[in-house]
Every structure is written in C-alpha cells, then in structure tokens.
Amino acid sequence: GIPGVPAQDDVNITRANIEDNFEAFNFASKGDIDLYEKLLKEGFNVISDELAKLDQIFVDTKFEFGYVTDKAGNEKLIYMDEVGTPDSSRIWDGASYRDGKIIENSKEGFRQLLLSHFPDSDILLNKDRMEERKALARDNALPESVLMEVSKTYVGIAEKITGEKLELSENPKAEIIEILRDQYGLID
C-alpha cells in the first residue's frame, strides 16, 4: 500500500521511495533517513571488516531498526534484533570460497531442510498461510539431530568470531536485561 513500492517482501526500493513515504516506513522524520543510511553502511562495514580478519566473507544481511526512548526521554533510532547473526546474515568461509566451494554459516541449511522435508513448501514461504504454518510447527516435531545441527552452525560461527569456546548462560534473560539497563540505559 505504499505508492511506487511493490507489495512484496525483499524488494529493492530507492531512497526517494523512502523519503516520499517516510511515515509509511515508520521513520519519525525525514532527517532520520540519513542516520538510517549511515547506520546501514557503518554496520555492514564493521561486521564485514571484522569477519574478513577471520577469513569469513560477509555476503549479505538484513538490519532491523527501531526507536527506543532512553532514560532522559529522548527517542533514538537504533539497530535491533539479531544484528549480524547467522539468522539474519549469510557468512561464507573464505578458504573454501577460494577453493570454489561455498560453506555458508547461516540458517540457510536449516531453511532448505524444512522446505524439502514438507510436501507443501508454500506453507513455509507464504505469509498468508500463517495458521497452516503454526499447525505444521505444532504437529511436526523435528528430530533433535536437526536442531543440534542448527545449533552447531550458530555455535561454530560464534566461537570463530570470539576466538573462545562458547559458554552457555545460566540465565540469558537476566544478562540481556542487565546489559540493556547498565551499559545502554535503555531500561530501568
């Protein structure tokens, strides 16, 4: 329903599309578009540069942004949700790529497994079929081995990035709240 923008996911748009319809794209002001563009470029470059040091290629990603209100009552546009993770990005192993093979550290392997596992893959791809998707998830438990493969991909790239063995938290929710409160002042 946005003028000049096709009504579909993952469609290329222009800056003019955003400027002409900034409210429809949930920007508080046209001025925030400059910050958005800056954050996009800087975020991609920071992640790409750091992964390159580990011989990993940052192929593509999606960034999600939103507004938060800090303790002082100021509204800020920030990155939010899964920034640079295998869930939102495609990361290729550099050495394998140079050898002509693509080893991708992302959710794509799991996604393809799901698409080939179920006879009607459109249920998983079509947002108009969400009720069927929920029923599919509810009625079809995945084998633990499949879930462990997904975990192995995510843990593997996390350990490669940090250079350390991943230590699982006893209480991840509490740690996230503490960081958001103490380091960023986003919550009380």
Query: Does residue 9 register a pLDDT over 80?
Result: no
pLDDT at 95: 95
At 125-162, the pLDDT tens digits run 888 999 999 999 899 888 888 888 888 888 888 888 88
Q: Is 111 helix (H, G, I), strand (E, B) or coil?
A: helix
Distances 118 to 46, 85, 112, 142, 149 between C-alpha atoms, Å: 38, 26, 10, 11, 18
Mean of pLDDT over the chain: 89
**Residue 138, pLDDT score:** 92
Which pairs from 180-185 meet CB under 8 Å and 24+ separation?
185/70, 185/71
- Amino acid, single-letter form, for residue 32: D
Domains and their CATH numbers in the chain:
15-93+172-183 (3.30.470.20)
Section 31-55 average pLDDT: 94
User: What is the per-residue pLDDT for 134?
Assistant: 93
User: Which pTM was predicted?
Assistant: 0.71
Looking at residue 110, its amino acid is F
pLDDT for position 111 = 86
**What's the pLDDT tens digit per position in 51-84?**
999 999 999 998 889 999 988 999 999 988 778 8
